[in-house]
């Protein structure tokens, strides 16, 4: 029988050929070429000059490089930490309380409303918010003026001290729907009898939240944290559309910094270095997460 099945399983390799060929040509080869370029000095024309680790050396002492990754960390706060926490509370609230008091329909309606920003391209979301942050005729300053808070109005994206926070505010708005939808689906797996038993034992709402809810939907929390953290490290479009990394270096991020080196400054080698470092960080993060998660599941 074993022999028979193995003979039936033969001849499938041919189905892999187109996919693997395209994959090698358009992903593996460019990826390796990019690593190669990171060891060179090249303007994009002529021959790249081999300079070993000089680009990596330069990066270590480059304040723009550090500013980029610091801002990527701030984006993890705005895209992972804050939305996950708000999403957990909001999902529990909609799932437990609102469904109970107002019905499934009302709960689904709110869920859809909070999810709305997720359906539009991030770059369009950024343009919408750039409009809101506009200094003279933007909605945020308009709102502050109408409340008599004229002193608080400012050029949100043009001011060194507020630009990054303005970007972060937009990202929180954009991201909240994602954890909310995933956590609400996860909560459906949780056995309501557990809550009833806990309530009989005199557990408070907060205790139930921490000891039952969070504990049971942990796999989904891992997925949300990992995917949103990777997303935060890759952010490009909102920076391009809102601030171009400015004012100064206030909102520069790794991907935009590498784009500038590739296409605006013709420092192809240095751009490749930044992109490679970003990739290493993302792969490390993914690996660590998957190891931690598999350990906890066991």
Distance of closest approach, residue 59 Cβ to other proteins, in angstroms: 14
By beta-carbon proximity to other proteins, the closer residue of 132 and 168 is 132
Of residues 118-137, those binding other proteins (CB under 8 A):
119-125, 127-132, 134, 137
List binders of other proteins among 87-106 (CB under 8 A). Answer: 93, 97-98, 101-102
171 is an interface residue for other proteins by CB under 8 A = no
Q: Give the nearest distance from C-beta 63 to other proteins in angstroms.
A: 20
User: Which position among 64, 162, 279, 293 is part of the footprint of other proteins (CB under 8 A)?
Assistant: 279
* Binding test (CB under 8 A) with other proteins, winner from 66, 165, 173, 195: 173
Alpha carbons 154 and 214: distance in angstroms, whole number: 40
Binding segment for other proteins (CB under 8 A), chosen from 75-83, 109-117, 154-162, 190-198, is 109-117
Q: Which of residues 29-88 bind other proteins (CB under 8 A)?
A: 29-31, 33-34, 37, 44
CB of 112 or CB of 197, closer to other proteins:
112
What is the rounded CA–CA span in Å between residue 226 and residue 186? 16
- Contact map string, positions 174 to 213, toward other proteins, x by CB under 8 A: --x----xx--xx---------------------------
| Residue for token pair 């939305």 | 83
The 3-state secondary structure of 129-194, one letter per residue: HHHHHCCCCCHHHHHHHHCCCHHHCCCCCCCCCCHHHHHHHHHHHHHCHHHHHHHHHHHCCCCHHH
Instruction: Tell me if 240 contacts other proteins by CB under 8 A.
Output: yes
Which ranges constitute the DSSP H helices of the chain? 2-8, 13-23, 29-37, 54-60, 63-76, 82-92, 99-102, 104-115, 122-133, 139-146, 163-175, 177-187, 192-200, 205-208, 214-216, 218-234, 237-242, 254-259, 268-297
């Amino acid at each position: 029988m074993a022999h028979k099945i193995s003979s039936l399983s033969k001849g499938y390799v041919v189905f892999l050929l187109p996919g693997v060929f395209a994959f090698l040509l358009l992903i593996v080869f460019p990826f390796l070429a990019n690593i190669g370029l990171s060891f060179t000095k090249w303007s994009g024309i002529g021959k790249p000059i081999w300079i070993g680790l000089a680009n990596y050396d330069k990066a270590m002492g480059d304040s723009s490089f550090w500013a980029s990754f610091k801002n990527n960390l701030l984006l993890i706060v705005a895209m992972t930490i804050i939305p996950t926490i708000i999403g957990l509370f909001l999902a529990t609230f909609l799932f437990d309380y609102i469904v109970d008091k107002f019905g499934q329909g009302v709960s689904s309606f709110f869920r859809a409303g909070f999810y709305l920003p997720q359906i539009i391209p991030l770059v369009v979301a950024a343009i919408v918010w750039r409009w809101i942050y506009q200094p003279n005729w933007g909605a945020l300053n308009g709102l502050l003026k109408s409340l008599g808070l004229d002193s608080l109005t400012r050029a949100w994206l043009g001011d060194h001290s507020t630009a990054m926070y303005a970007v972060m505010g937009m990202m929180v708005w954009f991201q909240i729907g994602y954890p909310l939808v995933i956590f609400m689906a996860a909560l459906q797996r949780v056995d309501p009898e557990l809550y009833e038993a806990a309530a009989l034992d005199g557990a408070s709402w907060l205790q139930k939240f921490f000891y039952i809810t969070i504990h049971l939907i942990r796999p989904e929390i891992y997925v949300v944290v990992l995917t949103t953290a990777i997303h935060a490290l890759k952010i490009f479009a909102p920076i391009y559309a809102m601030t171009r990394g400015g004012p100064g270096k206030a909102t520069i991020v790794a991907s935009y910094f590498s784009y500038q080196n590739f296409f605006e400054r013709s420092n192809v080698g240095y751009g490749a270095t930044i992109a490679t470092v970003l990739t290493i960080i993302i792969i490390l993060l993914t690996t660590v997460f998957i190891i931690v998660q598999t350990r906890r599941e066991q």
